[in-house]
Chains A and B, each alone.
Chain A
Amino acid sequence: MAAGPAPAPSPARVTIAALGKRFETGVDVFSGLNLEAAPGDFISLIGPSGCGKTTLLRLLAGLAAPSSGKVAIDDLAPAAARDRLAFVFQEPTLLPWLTARRNVELPLRLHGEPAHSRAVTAREALSRVGLADAAERYPRQLSGGMKMRVSLARALTGHPSLLLFDEPFGALDEMTRNRLNEDLLRLRETAPFTALFVTHSVGEAVFLSNRVVVLARGRIAAELAVPLPYPRGPETRELPAYLQLVARAVAALRAADQP
């Protein structure tokens, strides 16, 4: 494989300490939020709409600034750690005028990677997500699931040590979502990263994560450890332990949603 940006040495540590965020409207999203992600953690954030899940990811990505407190990735401020992180958005956010391959190349292109080596890296990333044959197709020629795979391949090209997922599979049908969940875990085995994953699906949260954090009214309302062993596959969803964890997470979410 051609050299992309230097591979990250290890998954990142994320520190969120006494975090406060006030919107221009005067609404406090967080006041004194604390959360620590150890290197290699896969944390899913669940909670009612408007509880600040996406805002938390945006703060970590440096797309918004905290009003108070600290957000750090390997002890670096988000702006200084941007080459260590990648963001997978709710929408695939593909440039419609570029082919799948050239979309995957984009981060490398923005970092000044030569055309030939980035093309090789992009092809390799696309074959890792099972889209080797669709490299020269335009986004309009891809299904919703394929677009999201391209988005995933693009996020992985920079070898990030932290991946932020903002409900990336929310718009997909359940079959496609399950398959993408399995693919994501498989990809993580070959290129480990720390992940913060926002979702509204409790099943997805439990399947993917080793920790599920329930956010409500700007604070952590509950936290659930998921001791299911990796690698996980379709059979994991049939395990009694998985089903029990889902039930516990649903109960925690319901409790958090009570006024």
Chain B
Amino acid sequence: MKFRLPTSLWIPPLLAGAVLLVLWQGAIVVFGLPSYFLPGPGDVVRALVRERDFLLPAALRTGSSALVGFGAAVAGGALVALVLASSRWVKAALYPWVLVVQMVPVVVLIPIFVIWFGANLASVTAISFMISFFPVVAGTTLGLVSTDRGLLELFAVNRATKLQEILLLRLPYALPYFLTGVKIAATLAPIGAISGEFLAGTEPNTLGYLLVVYRSDPGKMPEVFAVALVTCALGFLFVGAVQLLSWLLLRRWHESAVRAE
């Protein structure tokens, strides 16, 4: 079974993208907007090429922080979900507190992490972790507690142990839910990393740091847009990797993957 992106999935977004580019450039021409207010698509591409020696290493560094935070969020989120799903009482007692932690805004977390870990990549990774942790917990917990009652009874009639029930039934059943959570986390992890770098004022050679540098110069607006573009690309890379993993794991049996074929 080969992975083939259906044309209905890539032609419409490409066409819409082309229309948006035309509208973007058209707005600049029609309203006479200066480059320091809204650079044109060409300006952004030129900035991207011009600053590539800074942007590429920065993307790698930011991507690494996001990847570590994301990995920790996936592993930690899945573990917490297992604990939450272990009993109704545990879930009732702990889930609201997981929500409370999620409610704390990043701008509040950043100074706390900077005090705890210093203004370095550890803080950035921690922020990336915090921002992408909850979707994994929420998705996986939902999956673990939604196991089909008939299947649970099948396991009960066949005298399955609790461990067999978890490994052979609850975990595979929760897999699509878990992957949905991971997909959302993948979009958030790079955002968390760049926000952390921007607000915590961390080391140079990161996208967040470049953003701080570029925004201080009004003539560098195309570069700011170039950073946005690179961040988007980073996000797409994360989501694409998760999408591929999801396809590999679900392609044979889950309706979502089967329909995408």
List residues of chain A with CB under 8 Å of any chain B CB: 61-63, 82-83, 85-87, 89-91, 93, 95-97, 106-107, 109-111, 138-140
Apart from A83-B159, A106-B154, A138-B253, what 13 extra A-B contacts exist at CB < 8 Å? A63-B156, A63-B157, A82-B157, A85-B157, A87-B157, A89-B153, A93-B148, A93-B154, A95-B151, A95-B172, A97-B172, A97-B175, A97-B252
Residues of B within 8 A of A87 (CB): 153-154, 157
Complex CA gap A159/B261 in Å reads 40
Known: A87-B153, A91-B150, A140-B258. Contact between A107 and B158, CB under 8 A?
yes
Residues of A within 8 A of B150 (CB): 89-91, 93
Residues of B within 8 A of A93 (CB): 148, 150-151, 153-154
List residues of chain B with CB under 8 Å of any chain A CB: 148, 150-151, 153-160, 164, 168-169, 172, 175, 252-255, 258
Contact check, A89 vs B258: say whether CB atoms are below 8 A apart. Answer: no
Residues of B within 8 A of A97 (CB): 172, 175, 252-254
With both chains docked as a complex, state the minimum distance between the C-beta of B94 and any C-beta of chain A, in angstroms: 26
Residues of A within 8 A of B255 (CB): 140
Complex CA gap A106/B156 in Å reads 12
6 shortest interchain CB distances as A-B pairs? A93-B150, A87-B157, A97-B253, A107-B158, A96-B253, A93-B154
Contact check, B158 vs A95: say whether CB atoms are below 8 A apart. Answer: no
With both chains docked as a complex, state the minimum distance between the C-beta of B261 and any C-beta of chain A, in angstroms: 12
Contact check, B157 vs A86: say whether CB atoms are below 8 A apart. Answer: yes
Residues of B within 8 A of A95 (CB): 151, 168-169, 172
Known: A89-B150, A110-B164, A140-B258. Contact between A61 and B157, CB under 8 A?
yes
Residues of B within 8 A of A111 (CB): 158-159
Contact check, A106 vs B158: say whether CB atoms are below 8 A apart. Answer: yes
Could you list some 17 contacts between A and B, CB below 8 A? Answer: A61-B157, A82-B157, A82-B159, A83-B159, A85-B157, A89-B154, A90-B150, A93-B154, A97-B253, A97-B254, A106-B154, A106-B168, A110-B158, A110-B168, A111-B159, A138-B253, A140-B255
Residues of A within 8 A of B155 (CB): 110
With both chains docked as a complex, state the minimum distance between the C-beta of A98 and any C-beta of chain B, in angstroms: 8
Residues of B within 8 A of A89 (CB): 150, 153-154
Contact check, A96 vs B254: say whether CB atoms are below 8 A apart. Answer: yes
Known: A96-B253, A106-B158. Contact between A63 and B169, CB under 8 A?
no
With both chains docked as a complex, state the minimum distance between the C-beta of B171 and any C-beta of chain A, in angstroms: 10
With both chains docked as a complex, state the minimum distance between the C-beta of A35 and any C-beta of chain B, in angstroms: 20
Complex CA gap A85/B151 in Å reads 17
Complex CA gap A62/B252 in Å reads 34
Residues of B within 8 A of A140 (CB): 253, 255, 258
Residues of B within 8 A of A107 (CB): 158
Of B155, B157, B164, B172, the most chain A CB neighbours within 10 A belong to B157
Residues of A within 8 A of B252 (CB): 97, 138
With both chains docked as a complex, state the minimum distance between the C-beta of A82 and any C-beta of chain B, in angstroms: 5
Residues of A within 8 A of B156 (CB): 62-63
Complex CA gap A155/B194 in Å reads 55
Residues of B within 8 A of A85 (CB): 157
Complex CA gap A223/B252 in Å reads 48
Complex CA gap A111/B157 in Å reads 12
Of A61, A93, A139, A140, the most chain B CB neighbours within 10 A belong to A93
Closest to B159 in A: A82
Complex CA gap A89/B164 in Å reads 20
Residues of A within 8 A of B164 (CB): 110
Closest to A87 in B: B157
Complex CA gap A62/B155 in Å reads 12
Residues of B within 8 A of A83 (CB): 159
Residues of A within 8 A of B151 (CB): 93, 95
Closest to B155 in A: A110
Complex CA gap A129/B258 in Å reads 27
Residues of B within 8 A of A139 (CB): 253
